[in-house]
Amino acid sequence: MPNSDQSRSLHEHFPDLCWARPGAIATLPVLLAGALLAQSGEPAPKPQADTRPQGPQQPIPEVVVSASDAQAAGELERTPLDNTAGRDVIRPDELRTGGVISLQEILRRSPGVHTWDETGSESLPNVAMRGVTANDGASRSLNLAMTVDGIPLSSAPYGHPGSSLFPLTLERVYAVDIQRGGASVRYGPNNVSGVVNFLTKPIPTATTFELGTRLDSFNNASQYASAGGTYENLGVFVEGVYKDGDTFRQNGEYVIQNYALKTAYAFSEDLRVLFQLESFEDRSNLADGLSLADYKADPFQSTALQNRFEGDQTRASTKVEWKLTDRTRLEFISYWYDSSRTFFLGSPTGYINNPTYIQATPRPMEVWAFQPQVAHEYELFGAQAELFAGVRHLEENIRRRVERFFPNGSYQLISDADFDYSANSVFVETTIVKGDWRVTPGVRVEDVRIDGQDTLTANAPKREQDFSEVLPALSASYLIDDTWSVYANVQSSFKAPEAQHIDLAANPQDLSAQYAWVYELGTRGEFFDRRLAADLTLYQIEYEDRIEPNPDIFNVFDNIGRTRHQGVELALDGDLSSVAFDGLTAFASASYNDSEYLKGQYEGNQLTGTPHWLLSWGVRWEHARSGLWTGIDGVYVDDAFSDRDNTVAINAAGTRGIRPAYSIWNARVGLRRQLSKNCQLRATVLTRNLLDEEYFEVRSGRGLYAGAPFSYGAELGLTFSF
């Protein structure tokens, strides 16, 4: 259980603050009655649970841009028993009826995943897994690999791996594959704590149109539209998302747009070509952090009204699938994306609305890569085996500029640096299945060359660094019987120095690559006639040459040595129909993590932004005949230190001190109805932070960020198929 002595409620810190909205909560019965009265027609078909043994099922594909592959992923009800690592699949039905409003929110269902909201929209997500946070907390998802249909999501996977630009919206996501371990060979780099693969919606087989809208009490609105179908050998799918709103804080207005085109053409039964083109634009004001006094006065105010963010990305990807023989498949994947993101922040920082100047930090980035890979099935000493091998060549160009705009209209270029990353990867693994055993040895080899040059200084020399790493991995699982298995794995991972770690002018540095070993031991089972799935995992991560900023010298980074992250994770997923009533399901997850520094002046201290305990839970009931459903869920986040010194009391600036523990409850009711043969209706009424819990985050150097208070909203969707 969480440590009650360490957990501190917000009321204990600020007893003079108390917000409650019982009147809003009381409207739930009215909304539920309205939903009941509105129903008509036939109920929407309910997805059937997969009751087959889970061992031999197909894995979720690496790159998904076709109908059949993505639908197969959605039909995977649970992680296969013989999977050799900790893993969760968030299915399409959970996304469509979960009533969530951001991808960060849905990820909390997986054990060991910690997220916090910086903006009140999907902009600038902060996601961390297994306590491997960045230097000031989760800090925009720096230490895990996030992909879209298997393709890196970060603007530059090697030189700028964080998600300060997050070019994806919830409305486009079909399913989520969360691989907490055992994925280092196929995904690289920067996957020390795991991989999150977002699968976008597939090309429909029939002509399909979909419309959706969502509104909430913070004046946030989302509009979604898509159309597509498969016509003989050609599949086409287009979709668009437009989101805007005010969020729950002053100066939180934003506009986000996300558009995509997918095509697939089958030249024959054995040869298929897929293409995907996407665009993304984010224009967000930034409320920014608050001092302790400002937070007590009004936690939803902003004292930095000039702060804002601009981000854009265009990305394209292709995949050629060629079945050479019944046992051999060849794939050729290529992708390119062009990104730009800029923060406009008042400076010097210090909670002022009349700054000395506005400092802009534009980061134009361009990435292109090609990746041929092959899968070949064969027999090895009487065992069934599959070889998976490939190579990848990736090029990145990153431009780091710092500009200042003064109130009198003058302009100053402070720094301008150009970085080129050239990375070559080779990966090989083979899966051997013999009886109840599944064993997968593999290795990934990374060779990275970094060239950096200060373009502001005439004739400045280039800085060159080269890194070559051999990253072995081994995983295995054993089926004790057809409902229970054990698994274990060991893998290695590395992370090259980021462009921001290399100061070319004032403080030249020679930083090492960060390197880690990850160990997992777990058991997975399905009990009570497969109505209850349970997954228990023990893990330890040994991180070496960890890079963090120097606390006293701006833009200087230090190698602080080793950190260790260890813990236990439990995930439960159950169908309670037989013990309660039809249509009742539940899930729960719990994780305990201990992350600490092992060397130097911080030895024995906890890492920043790493809660010991993370809990999530939810219950959902659906009435099959009427299509009416309702659900309630929640999360518990333990307290966490906000600095390496493990300061307890929150300081006046709001940049140090323990962030208190908090719990959030959400509730929703919905309706899924087949209005006619060709038309399906989806409607949801939802509340978030039902009990109006007061909570915040403490961010080093920025201050206190209030969590979202109670809110309510509604969603409506129509799907037409012909």
Task: Kindly state whether residue 582 falls inside one of the protein's structural domains.
Answer: yes
- Cα 656 to chain centroid distance, Å, stands at 26
* Residue % of the chain over a pLDDT of 70: 85
Cβ atoms of 514 and 471 within 8 Å: the answer is no
The span from the CA of 143 to the CA of 610, in Å, is: 13
Range picked from 14-23, 95-104, 318-327 for highest mean pLDDT: 318-327
Task: Kindly state whether residue 560 falls inside one of the protein's structural domains.
Answer: yes
Least confident of 36-40, 236-240, 495-499, 556-560: 36-40
Q: Strand ranges (DSSP E) for 291-362?
A: 308-323, 328-347, 357-360
pLDDT of residue 122: 84
* Residue 45: both structure tokens together: 């078909």
CB atoms within 10 A of CB 16: 6
The span from the CA of 562 to the CA of 555, in Å, is: 21
pLDDT of residue 46: 39
Least confident of 24-28, 165-169, 242-246, 703-707: 24-28
Average pLDDT over residues 652-659: 92
Among residues 691, 692, 669, the alpha carbon closest in space to that of 682 is found at 669
What CATH number corresponds to the domain at position 52?
A: 2.40.170.20
Cβ atoms of 13 and 650 within 8 Å: the answer is yes
CB within 8 Å of 239: residues ≥ 6 apart: 171, 172, 201, 224, 225, 226, 227, 228, 259, 260
Partners of 373 in the beta sheet?
Answer: 331, 390
Residue 15 pLDDT level (bands cut at 50, 70, 90)? very low
Residue 548 pLDDT level (bands cut at 50, 70, 90)? confident
Task: Kindly state whether residue 4 falls inside one of the protein's structural domains.
Answer: no
Burial zone of 430 (CB within 10 Å; 0-12 exposed, 13-18 middle, 19+ buried): middle
Task: Kindly state whether residue 514 falls inside one of the protein's structural domains.
Answer: yes
Average pLDDT over residues 275-302: 95
CB within 8 Å of 90: residues ≥ 6 apart: 106, 107, 109, 110, 175, 176, 178
- Cα 627 to chain centroid distance, Å, stands at 31
Average pLDDT over residues 187-197: 88
Instruction: Report the b/e string of 525-553 with b at 16+ CB within 10 A.
Output: bbeeebbbbbbbbebbbbbbbbbbbeeee
Residue 17 pLDDT level (bands cut at 50, 70, 90)? very low
Arithmetic mean of pLDDT over the chain = 85
Backbone phi and psi for residue 515, each to the nearest 5 degrees, phi listed first:
-135, 145
Cβ atoms of 246 and 271 within 8 Å: the answer is no
Domain count, the chain: 1
Domain with 37 in it: 10-350+363-721
Largest CA-CA distance found in the chain, in angstroms, rounded: 79
pLDDT of residue 190: 84
Residue 439 pLDDT exceeds 70: yes
**Reported pTM:** 0.88
Residue 505 pLDDT level (bands cut at 50, 70, 90)? low
Q: Name the pairing type of β-strands 628-637 and 662-676.
A: antiparallel
Residue 629 pLDDT level (bands cut at 50, 70, 90)? very high
Average pLDDT over residues 139-150: 86
pLDDT of residue 163: 86
Task: Kindly state whether residue 477 falls inside one of the protein's structural domains.
Answer: yes
DSSP letter string, 556-615: -EEE---EEEEEEEEEEEEE-TTTS-TTEEEEEEEEEEEEEE-SGGGTTPBPTT--SEEE
The span from the CA of 546 to the CA of 548, in Å, is: 7
Partners of 416 in the beta sheet?
Answer: 401
Task: Kindly state whether residue 2 falls inside one of the protein's structural domains.
Answer: no
pLDDT of residue 47: 37
- Residue 104: in which H helix or E strand, if any? helix 103-107
* Residue 84: both structure tokens together: 């050799």
pLDDT in tens, 61-84: 333 333 334 444 445 667 889 999
